[in-house]
Structure 1
Amino acid sequence: MKNVILFDLDGTLTDPQQGITRAIQHAQQKLGEQVETMEELRSFIGPPLQQSFQERGYSEDKTTAAITYFREYFAVKGMFENEVYDGIERMLQRLKEQNYVLAIATSKPEVYANDILAHFQLADYFDVIVGSELDGRRTAKAEVIEEVLVRLVVPASSCVMIGDRKHDMIGARHHQIEAIGVTYGYGSKRELLEAGASHICNTVHELNQLLEKAYVSEV
């Protein structure tokens, strides 16, 4: 019986595009680089920040500097340049009424995840909120999920993971957890299926219907 639901945060519960891309632009400006457009920076949404910078050819030192500048903006303003997808709070409320255990499993630093969820008055829906550490530890999604399992003291077989990028699917697969991919965030259907998604939902409404049909009846 799957009675524990793990949610990614960015691109799954909230749309963080404005805040994240503006924080990246701030870092690029500080580094004296050409500032890219919001559309060009969409790929930063979802993966661990360090990974995204390194995939663009940044050295270790430059990546460290870029993350520092990113956080200058993000910690003060960027995290709140964000919005909850329509229907998310109603879905969370319904799941709690059905006695689900809900968790956040995000590669975003845990301190930011807590602040964002508190700001949008969503924190109380979650039994645990797990993210990465500011010092770079626990950024891989498999590590984040492992920490969720430890804190909740639940078996992986009782869980399902919901996310919008391949990292969510790969992390879930590492623990043999069923994964649901959502395309209203920042990953494509192809990306999610190739990474191991067992179901694809294109809207929050479709996700709600899937959970109702596949899982709520089991609780």
Structure 2
Amino acid sequence: MSAGRFPAAVLFDLDGTLLDSAPDFVVTANRMLQARGMGEVTLEQLRPAVSKGARAMLTVAFPHMADAERHALVPEFLEIYEALIGQYATLFDGVETMLQALENAGSTWGIVTNKPEYLARLILPQLGWEQRCAVLIGGDTLAERKPHPLPLEVAAQRINTAASACVYVGDDERDIIAARAAGMPSVAVLWGYRPEGDDPSTWQADSICELPQELWQPAAWPATQPASA
């Protein structure tokens, strides 16, 4: 086991872990609400649902709508979001320095998200990540998505690194479940999006971090196995 140094590879969730995308989604939801003559949703209302995906956010925006009717709004939601993606979102404070620290240590990093891959790929050039992000797996890239371990397993394979030599970082319990099933050490982060009452201390992550700045230091990362795949 290695400890006290950066992992050979780190895989990240995107929304709520690297990117504070909630402002984009608030604008998206409010454009839909305005088009229907309805009142706006606030950032505070929508933020806890962001990591759960479009359907969860639409449930917050349209709470009195029947499930089937609300689910039919997903294509509209994604179309509006695609048109404005990244205009209001920002990296969480400290994330860029964390990524630079990993790169300076020779670590590889990539993204495994449940966001559709085509949307996640639109983010990369906005942040200058096309060459820096070694692998990107979206929620529709494979036959399974998190909490299934397959996306993490395939991401590790694509960067030629054993799953046990990678660390997965995420803000949702599904992230930790997927990592554990893949045999990948995990970090649960507290700066992302969580519904009230959701307790990360029960997720069984290998480490819990309150701020990205903690991950600037190699000692904050969980131990991993050797890097050979």
Match of 1:121 among 125, 128, 132: 128
State how 1:1-150 maps to structure 2 within 5 Å: 1=2, 2-29=7-34, 35-50=40-55, 53=58, 58-60=66-68, 62-63=70-71, 65-133=72-140, 138-142=144-148, 143-150=150-157
Shift of 1:96: 1.6
Considering only aligned residues, what root-mean-square deviation do their CA atoms show, in Å? 3.1
State the 1:176 CA deviation.
Answer: 2.5
Structure 2: where are the runs of 5+ without partners?
A: none
Alignment correspondent of 2:180? 173
TM-score (norm 1): 0.82
Give the Å deviation of 1:189: 9.7
* TM-score, scaled to structure 2: 0.79
In the TM superposition, what is the alpha-carbon distance from 1:160 to its structure 2 partner?
A: 1.0
Instruction: Name whichever structure is richer in helix by fraction.
Output: 1
Whole-angstrom CA distance in 2 between matches of 1:122 and 1:133: 20
In the alignment, what sits opposite 2:206?
198
The residue identity in structure 2 corresponding to 1:10 is: D
**Secondary structure at the counterpart of residue 123 of structure 1:** coil
**Residues 213 and 198 from structure 1, CA distance in 2 versus in 1: closer, same or farther, beyond 3 angstroms?**
closer
Deviation at 1:215, TM superposition (A): 5.7
- Deviations 1:90-113 (Å, cap 9, x if unpaired)? 221221222212110111111221
Residue 47 of structure 1 contacts residue 167 of structure 1 at CA under 8 Å; is this kept in 2? no
Unmatched tracts of structure 1, length 5 or more: none
Q: Secondary structure at the match of 1:193?
A: helix
Change (3 A) 1:155 1:42: same
Whether the 8 Å CA contact 1:107–1:141 is kept in 2: the answer is no
- Tell me if the contact between 1:42 and 1:186 (Cα under 8 Å) persists in the aligned partners: yes
Q: Deviations over 1:199-218 (max 9, x none)?
A: 111111112225566569x8
Amino acid at match of 1:160: V
Q: Please give the alpha-carbon distance, in whole angstroms, between the structure 2 residues aligned to 1:18 and 1:28.
A: 15
The structure richer in strand per residue is 1
Equivalent-residue separation in structure 2 for 1:14 and 1:121 (angstroms): 13
Partner of 1:76, secondary structure, is helix
Select between 163-172 and 33-42 the one with higher mean Cα deviation: 33-42
Q: Distance in 2 between matches of 1:62 and 1:147?
A: 32
Cα distance change on mapping 1:43 and 1:31 into 2, 3 Å: farther
- Deviation string, structure 1 residues 106-140 (Cα, Å, up to 9, x no partner): 11111221221210113322210111229x96443
Q: Secondary structure at the match of 2:193?
A: coil
Identity %: 26
Aligned-pair distance for 1:3? 1.6
- Per chain length, whose mean CA-contact separation is higher, i.e. which structure has more relative contact order (CA < 8 Å, sep 6+)? 2
Greater mean alpha carbon deviation, residues 48-57 or residues 112-121 = 48-57
- Partners of 1:48 and 1:137 in 2: how far apart? 17
Could you report, residue by residue, the CA deviation over 1:131-188 in whole angstroms, capped at 9, with x for unpaired residues?
Answer: 1229x96443434323313423432211111111212112212213221111122238
Q: Amino acid of the residue matched to residue 37 of structure 1?
A: T
